[in-house]
Amino acid sequence: MSSNFVDFVKICCRSGAGGAGAVHFHRDKNTAKGGPDGGDGGRGGHIILRGNRQLWTLLHLKYRKHVIAEEGQSGSGANKTGHEGKDEILDVPIGTIAKDAETNEFLFEITEDGQEVILASGGRGGKGNNFFKSPTLQTPRFAQPGEPGLEEWKILELKLLADVGLVGFPNAGKSTLLSVVSAAKPEIADYPFTTLVPNLGMVSYREGKSFVMADIPGIIEGAHTGKGIGLRFLRHIERNSILLFMIPCDSKNIREEYSILLNELKQFNPELLDKARVLAITKADMLDNELIEEMKKDVPEELPSIFISSVAQMGIAELKDMLWKELNK
C-alpha cells in the first residue's frame, strides 16, 4: 500500500553564506583619494519552517532531500550593502517537530498556523572596509569575508493533533467506529494491522459542533520496545486530549486487556496516564441485555464505560455524548 500519510522526513538543509564586505575607496572627478566606502555583504538566506493548517502530512517534503537557501551578495562601493539571500520557506502541518538528525536533540515545534521558526540560519554578511576606519587607521585595505552557511541534516516529525485518540489492540473495531461516526474512509478488514497509518475523522456532534478523532494503528504488547509498528504510532497518542480505549466484547478478559494497553502507554510515556480516558466495549450487538449486565461486572470501574456496536449503530450517540462531556470538562 503506498501511503500519502508521511509523518517523518529527514532533510539536508544548507543555509546561504553571507556576502563578503567590499574593499573600496571613494573616487570621483573631484576626489582622487577619498576615504574607504566599501559596503557590507548581505546575509545569507535562512531555511524557515512555517505552520500551515491546510497540510496534514509531510508528503510534499518526502522526495525533497536537499533544501538550499540563496547566498548573500557582496557589498560594493558608495557604502552599498549587498542583497540578502532569499529565505527558503518550508510549509509544514501544525504539530511538526524539528530535531537535529545527528544528536536527535529536540529543536522546536510548530504549534500555530503561520508561525515561522528558523531551522538553519544564513551566514552573516562581512563588514566592508568603511566599518574598520578609525582615527588611527584611515585607509583600511581589508574587509571581512561573509560567514559560511550551515549544512545540517534535520528530522521533521509530525504528531497528530486530535481531540480523541482510539487505543486498542488490532481488530478492536477502531476503524469501523471511525467510519461510522465520521466521513473518514479507513481501510477495514477482519484481520489485525489493517490500519497502517493514522486516520483522522471529523465527528459531527449536536448543533453543528464537532471534534477530531484519530484512529491510531493497533498497539500490541511490547509496542513501547519497538515491536510491530508500535513506537512510530505511540507518539501520535501524545497529542490527544482524551484516549478512547476499545476492547471487543469477545475478549478473554476485559480488565486484563485494559491493563495491558495501559501498561504499553505507561512504558512509552507515563504522562499519557494523566489524560482523560473512556472505555468502549465494542461488537456488543452479539450480546443480549442479560449478558451485558453480567459483563459490566468485569469492566474496570475507574473510568466511564459504554457498550457499543458500530455496525448496528448501538450506543454511538451515547458515546459521542460521553466524549463531548469529557472534552469539555
Q: Which three cell numbers stand for residue 107?
A: 529543536
Q: How far apart are CA 17 and CA 246, in angstroms?
A: 54
pLDDT computed for residue 2 by the predictor: 38
- Distance from C-alpha of 197 to C-alpha of 236, rounded to nearest angstrom: 10
Check the CA dihedral 274-200-281-325 and report its sign. positive
Cell 455496525 found at: 311
The enclosing H or E element of 327 equals: helix 316-327
pLDDT for 174 equals 77
Element (H, E) at 200: strand 199-204
Q: Which of 233, 251, 243 is nearest to 304 (CA)?
A: 243
Q: How far apart are CA 84 and CA 18, in angstroms?
A: 8
pTM over 0.85: no
Strand partners of residue 165? 214, 243
Q: Are 44 and 94 in contact (CB under 8 A)?
A: no
Look at residues 224, 223, 205, 159 and name the one whose alpha carbon lies nearest to residue 7. 159
Mean pLDDT of 21-37: 90
**pLDDT, tens only, 142-152:** 999 999 999 99
Specify the pLDDT at position 192: 43
Round to whole Å and give the CA distance between 246 and 23. Answer: 72
pLDDT digits (tens, 9 = 90+) for 53-84: 888 778 888 888 899 999 999 999 999 999 99
**Which residue segments constitute the domains of the chain, with CATH numbers given?**
1-158 (2.70.210.12), 164-327 (3.40.50.300)
Q: Per-residue pLDDT tens for 260-276?
A: 888 888 887 777 788 88
Nearest of 248, 194, 202 to residue 218 by alpha carbon: 194
